Amino acid sequence: MGRKIFITATDTGAGKTFVTANLIRLLLEQGISASAIKPVASGVSADGINEDVEALMQAQQLNNPDLVNLYTFRLPASPNIAAAAEVQQIEPEKLVRWCHAQAEKVDLCLIEGVGGLMVPLNETYLVSDWISDMQGCEVILVIGARLGCINHALLTLAQLKRQGITPAYIIINAIDESDISMQAETSLRPWLAPTSQLITLPNKARSSDFSSLLSRLLAEA
């Protein structure tokens, strides 16, 4: 089975898709056998495709959303609510099995989550449960640098620790031109595990910023 990296975040809009799309684009440019998937998505555009799914399709030059996504619901809401609106339900075993199947096709599979750790996928299953069930999966935590992000980050790290998970990389994503990202980096560093690497992406990050992260990832393969 190929290497799996689960990309989660402190909350919605932190930059999971931005990070995932840039990483997969660079991986493929380097000729590495890789894929990026967004198994669960809520909310669609006028053409019926979720914007995050579409971004990952474009990054991989794919035309079929089924290669990237398993569950998409029209309502832009928590997956449990969006699924219920269509009289559907996410099946955890099916979800985990599908993710493993995609990872078997490549050497490196990026799995983008949905929202933060405590987002419900159904009445009894959270994103945190999904990560736990993805055995052998590394974790990247993306933090959107905005007011409140330090609290969100520490809560997320505490939950991961309870699950026995230490994120390999913690990425502070500068959403705007403020200095919150530097404040977050200074505040979070004392709380991080020695094995977690902290990376701050500047606002409007360029390919070179992701090239450095990619080099580190591949060095650990």
Catalytic residue numbers, as ranges: 38
Q: In the block, which residue shows the tokens 């219920």? A: 84
Instruction: Give dist(CA 186, CA 209) in Å, integer.
Output: 20
Instruction: Give dist(CA 38, CA 48) in Å, integer.
Output: 15
**Residues recorded for the chain:** 221
Q: In the block, which residue shows the tokens 């959303």? A: 65
Instruction: Give dist(CA 11, CA 117) in Å, integer.
Output: 8
Instruction: Give dist(CA 46, CA 66) in Å, integer.
Output: 18
Residue 140 region by backbone torsions, left for phi larger than 0, else alpha for psi between -120 and 50, else beta = beta
The Cβ of residue 96 has, within 10 Å, a number of other Cβ atoms equal to 18
Instruction: Give dist(CA 175, CA 45) in Å, integer.
Output: 23
The CB-side HSE value for 87 (13 A sphere, CA atoms) comes to 0
